[in-house]
Amino acid sequence: MSMSIARSIRALKTGSSSKLSLPKRTLATPVNTNLYTPVLPAKIPAVLHLKSGQSYHGHNFGSENSKFGETVFSTSITSYTDSMTDPSYLGQILVFTSPMIGNYGVPSNSSPPGFPGIPYLESEKIQCTGVVVSDVALKYSHYKAVESLHEWCKRYDVPGITGVDTRAITSLLRDQGTTLGRLAVGEESLKPAPASSEFWDPSTENLVAQASTKQPYVLNAEGKGPRIALLDFGTKANILRSLVKRGAVVTVLPWDYDFNSIRDQFDGLFLSNGPGDPKQIMETALRVRETIDQWDKPIFGICMGHQVLGLAAGLEAYRMTFGNRGHNQPVLALASSGSINAGRVYVTSQNHQYALKLTEEFPEGWAPFFINCNDSSVEGIISTPESGKRVWGVQFHPESAGGPLDTIEMFTDFVNECQFGPSGGSNMIAGEVKIGGSDAKAASEISATA
């Protein structure tokens, strides 16, 4: 207890003073940070132009360079730093529905204790092309903060716009779908909107190749757990942390690495998340099909990895109207496996534009695992008991960062399955598929009208 507080308490007890002398409360930010320098040094005009014809005028923060991208929205309330460093946002102009962004600043991105080689945030840098917020915080306060959102965006050449109606933009994107856009800054903002042919569409490019590691590397090389290969489509750092934390020795491979040539060295295969259209990496999906057919070890895919598994299984991937991006997406489990119980609703974190199509009859050896309670999209697939395989795919992020941890134990199940097999108690095969393909179709229609 500090001396000033102790004296005040004694004075209160003795009645010798009618006024408490409590220490002044300060912001929880390192003292070497100048909080009172506004993050907006000048009111530089900025405008968000959408290909559909709308323009939203505000002021710039971050980089003063203009950028093209795909305009999407996220309903996440916290963890803007994690969202902006998620490689799945590569090529996208990110609209935050939360009204104030930047109030707790940006932490250092150096590796946390115990996880060398893995950044503190979701990747080494900001991945989105631009940021759109209603109100950027002029001051920030957090004990881990080292810089403001403005300074961070400026350092990575990412423009931002503030002072716009993000509710109106979000409503528009929900109605017409994600839309190509341009964030114009300074003198560029005074010029007419670009012609339709000038907008850049990131989905036409292989974004996975841009986000993936270029060379293989190993994490937790001295670990005592199973040896897991991870095909990197643009993996989030917390996926790596979640595997390493459970003792796994993780070998991260480029997206187009021929895993089948070295698969016998490993106890399991993990397919990561990543940006863009899964059909851009169809060659990888075909190699994964070969892996599934010829290999009997556990396989787990998240987000893009889930879509690649679906393509390998013979399912169809399609582009959603506006996708799911946020930390509050409810999914219904249709099968029991490991820590997942059929019939339970799990709240999940998501970031994707594409999904697998729900069909009356699933391919032989496969069953739907999860379904989205809001839009009935397929949120997971699983190998059936008859297949003899041990394969999971989920559209959501069990590791979250940020978001709920309802399904985090799926990582424990997977690592145990890789190390001990069915004797470990996780059992990645669907012990009982409660709802089949046709029933899932009926369940989706019910959830869509609920």
In this structure, what token pair is assigned to residue 227?
Answer: 């040896």
> 386 burial class (0-12, 13-18, 19+ CB within 10 angstroms)?
exposed
Is 106:147 a contact under the CB 8 Å cutoff?
yes
Which residue in the list 306, 399, 417, 418 is annotated as catalytic?
399
Is 71:199 a contact under the CB 8 Å cutoff?
no
E-only strand ranges, 98-191: 100-101, 106-107, 130-132, 135-136, 145-147, 159-162, 179-185
Is 239:300 a contact under the CB 8 Å cutoff?
no
Which residue in the list 379, 397, 417, 418 is annotated as catalytic?
397
Is 111:118 a contact under the CB 8 Å cutoff?
yes
In three-state secondary structure terms, 202 is helix
397 has catalytic annotation: yes
Is 199:53 a contact under the CB 8 Å cutoff?
no
In this structure, what token pair is assigned to residue 176?
Answer: 């017409």
142 has catalytic annotation: no
Q: Using CA atoms, how far apart are residues 279 and 318, in angstroms rounded to an integer?
A: 9
153 has catalytic annotation: no
In three-state secondary structure terms, 245 is helix
List Cβ neighbours of 113 (8 Å cut-off, separation of 6 or more): none
**Phi first, then psi: what are they for 391, rounded to 5°?**
-135, 130
List Cβ neighbours of 317 (8 Å cut-off, separation of 6 or more): 277, 278, 279, 307, 310, 311, 354, 355, 356, 357
Which residue in the list 49, 70, 153, 303 is annotated as catalytic?
303
Active site residues: 303, 397, 399
